[in-house]
Structure 1
Amino acid sequence: MAERSTAAVDVADTSGEESLTAEAGGATADGVDQTRDQSTADARTTEVEHTAAASSAAAPDSDSATGDDAPAGEPASSAVSASPVNGAGARAASAATRTPPELHSGHKLAGRYRLEECITRLDGFSSWRAVDEKLRRAVGVHLLAADHPRARSVLAAARASALLGDLRFVQVLDAVEENNLVYVVHEWLPDAVELTALLAAGPLEVHDAYQMVTQLSQAMAAAHREGLAHLQLTPSAVLRTSTGQWRIRGLAVSAALRGITSDAPQRTDTEAIGALLYATLTQRWPYEDDAYGLSGLPKDVGLIAPDQVRAGVHRGLSELAMRALVNDGATASRQDPPCTTPDDLVKAIAEMPRIRPAEPTFTAPPEYQRTTYQQGNYGRPGANAPVVPPVVPPPAPLQGRTGRILKWGVSALLIAALGLGSWQLATALMDRGKKPGDTGTSQTENGSDKNRPGAGKQLKIASAKEFAPNGPGVQEDQVPLAIDGKSETAWVTPHYKGFPNFGNLPSRKEGSGIIVDLGKVQDLSGVDVFLYRGGQKVEVLAAGESASAPAALSDFPHRLTPLSTAGQQLHKDLDKPVRTRYVLVHISSLPPDTTSGWYRGGISELKFRGTPS
């Protein structure tokens, strides 16, 4: 079956552009492993080819989208060809250097998708994190000029990928050509973690590696049955969600964006899965070159089985990785036939004994203490049994008339003492609230609640926005969730890698937070901040009484709370009311996320107390 396109969504991580495999842009799903020499000799350099079925699903103007659809004058060699044998990945070689369209944060596509942050600019296209304002959710967007030689291929690849509808792949949501731009919109998974980040912490557990290779093999087998290949299956293209599901991004679109093609797409993707399994077992890249934050193998020694690289590797998974990788005929020690297609991998995994999760460990109970009532010792102490002191019986209760009188007398005294104490306590509490000249009306110690520091009514919040003095906001669309009165919703930051101060990014050098507008100048006497999670460095600042639209830290001179690490709730009653209209809840440092080396924070709810003007 001729291939409809070649790859899916995220191309943000370009650190390991030397990826696994890839060759010809009309990658067919029926490709079987060719010898290395034949693959190299037959490597095509034409643009990505698509069948009529995929083209018709793409758009009426791309019914004949093949490698010949490139504009006149574009050399056919502008496509990238990579051998599935060397594993060094795609060597992009574009004949005509093109600049991605110059767009900026805040630009809207189709009046709906607002660009937020540019993730990457490469080879004539750019990738963005954006917000779908219609559905109020984060999305990813790939952009390139409509006259780019690969624009038609990208559109056809995206539309063909969207038709698959397999939730094991990151879904393509839209593919549009308008205003001299071609853009592809795809899912954004904020709770998912790249395999690259997981491997940075060390090799995966055996069960996790087993689940990954199982789910990836089944997903790619289903894709190839529909004529779709990936060709860019690298650690940055594999995600693990918070529920433990593995998802693939990059089906069709990623390779089409780079012009990567392959004569043997099934072999290419199978080797890629083998390399990913090898990396999860050993934390090493199965080639000589370092890639994706992983060290390569020693030079001039060839491909070494995973269980020879690292002790304790599961033997069955080690052999499976060797069968999937291209290694000059050497497979596993049992000389099983190599796996050349994802279907072969699925069958090989089915033949393996199922790998179950590790059993939870329990603390051993304390050693059983032998008692004197064991068989053979019943009723008599053992030779080494400790001597138990005899139990002294309690004294006999008072008997006779005298005892009864004494008990009644003690009871009466206790009742009288209890009544007297209760009366004295009630009198003291009543006198405490009175002053000389009072007519009996109870008041608080200072005369009224409204004069007590921190007391007052809850102030109404007119609006709120993100504090972002050095660049665009981080999650502007989620700011209303911090003032909606619901503790289960929150404004949450993205994940930042390596540094708690928002990834040490120049655009976040002053942190972030939320600026609240109370609508008018009011007397503020109390603050309640409910945080998304504890461990954030937070301070609350207030602008001057005459401030108008403050945006920088210097615009908030009144410090309501000191900068300190807070728990999940920050409560403050001010000693003296502050007259202000604008309040900044400033976050300068984030707590660690569940994944090692990543940081994330946020605000669940904001409440302010005082006297309305």
Structure 2
Amino acid sequence: MDDKPIHGGEPLPDDAPTTMMDDATRLLNPSTSSGDEAETAPPAAEPTPTADHTPTTEPVEATDTPDPMSDTLHPAMATSEPEGEPADRPTATVSAGDVYAGRYRLEQQLAQRGGTLTWRAFDQKLSRSVLVHVLAADDPRTPDVLDAARKAAFATDSRFLRVLDAVVGENPGEPSLVVCEFAPGESVEKLLRQGPLSALEAAWVARELADAMQSMHAEGLFHQRINPDTVIITATGNVKIVGFLIEAAMYPDADEGTLAWSEREAADVMAIGKVLYASLVTRWPTAREQLLGDDGEPRRSWGLPAAPVDGRGWLTPRQVRSGVSPALDIICDQILSDAPRHNEMPLRTANQITHALSKVLGTADGAADLERRMRYPVVPAEDSEAVWETTGQMAVQDPMTSTAPFTPVPRPDGQAAHGQRSHGATTATPAHAVAAASPATPSAPPPRPRPRAAAARSSRPPRRRWLTILVALVALVLLISLIRVAMHKDDSGGGLLGGDEAGQVLQVASVADFDPEGDGGNGQENPDQAKLATDGNPATAWTSVVYLNDAKLGKLKPGVGLVVDLGERKKVGTVKLTLKGSPTAVQLRVPKDSATDKAPTGSQKDWTTVASLPSAGTSVELKPEQSVESRYLLVYVTSLPKVSGNKYQAGIAEIEVQS
């Protein structure tokens, strides 16, 4: 069953060539790809436009020179109605040749989705092709879509399909338009029909997505519709992101209006990880409850079967398909898993993904490989829909990745291998049997005879009794040393060196983020990550949001931090911190009212600083100069370490409180 979310869409059939990349140019572990070819219907004849937007009745051919890639469509040009979209939305009535805003002449309809028409048009003032979304005059989404288009115009990065104009219908019944850049290419969705991308291509596409989105996230703008259908590869191998803000406005989700900033960012980050996963193994990471459709058949998303799962969640790419780059396998797990395997650090921001993939790519550029994939055709592979049989709980691997031993070509009865004796006679294998068994492998030369003396020496059994005795002596010495160390520890009543006993580690009842509105905060400092600072795993961490241009939180607020609740008043001797990045200016604070049974959350002015470090490294000990008793502690960061360029972000991996 082919199942897509409401914001997806099936691209028009497209015959633009795609191809595998040259294996000699691979900088990462290569993967093969194959493809399907489809025919593209020729465009219909178009009527000649009049001075206004009303076409004449006699159709003639367009006078401008058609774009050689005009039949290569990108994902915004889907023809199928997204599942779940209302079918009764008003649709504008337009025709080829209509001219709007005195410059945009409609030429070819490319899609009709949820009441929105998508046309290729010609800008008569600038003599260029543009993409136009047409909304009916009475469409209730029009104000939101036009507002989203105006905001999306802020995204001027060349990796976005940029918004060029927003035209409001002024006359009764006249539709409104969103005019976008027209970039011929193919969606990642269509490329994946032909097989997985190479490691270099997949890493390049994901890195371009993350790098383009990180600056938008810093401005509080989120795509929320990143998927194989909204990412296209142009004829020159460049990555284009389609529908920034507009896609979510045209096909809204009722639950998205209540999402916090951090949740919207997390949705984009997770989507980038899913695109990377799908690019490597042509499987889509689908939630467990969505693995099967209403008919009980495996659900497909963007033409891809669901990723196989086990008891922990989605299998990693290397578990799904052999030959996947280990580095990319780890990065996928860091993005998509709540608790990444091998104690790796989770990647929770676009900036972190960019840095991780940049380390893998180095100076490699995947655009050239993607350009070759677009330029040269490949032979379509057989349908691999049955590669995985996925259920709601377990996944069964198919023979594609099986490691079963190779079964050699059977020999005729009584025939021995080439050069071996059988019953006193030498029988050579027939030439045609050798060719069938190994068509491209030349026969190996006979072994060179060894000198007699060397053969005699190799036949003598080695004398290793002395080695056994040596190993036994070493084991005995180690055993005696361990016994003496244990006895010394018992006699001293302290550590291995007989020192004073360290302070007792105090139990932490709960942790919460501290970003009060009274100090200019908004409560969006990743509150869902606060628990990671006391989970005992240094690989996980609470992180602040990214601030620009100044280490002192962009001069927007005095600081941010975490409030630690010990459950009851306790004596605090030392607080040990494991931080991410350096230098970090960090303080330990207690409430001014030490007897309070509720942590102050109105302002940092309600807390007293008892210890501080203005330029701390990654391992920190904060010791109050005088004895402190308190139920609540505030770990307060006032200056952030740099993460890249002009971006600053704090991270607290572990907090340990000792008496």
Is TM (by shorter chain) over 0.5?
no
Scaled by the length of structure 1, what TM-score is found? 0.42
Max radius of gyration: which structure?
A: 1
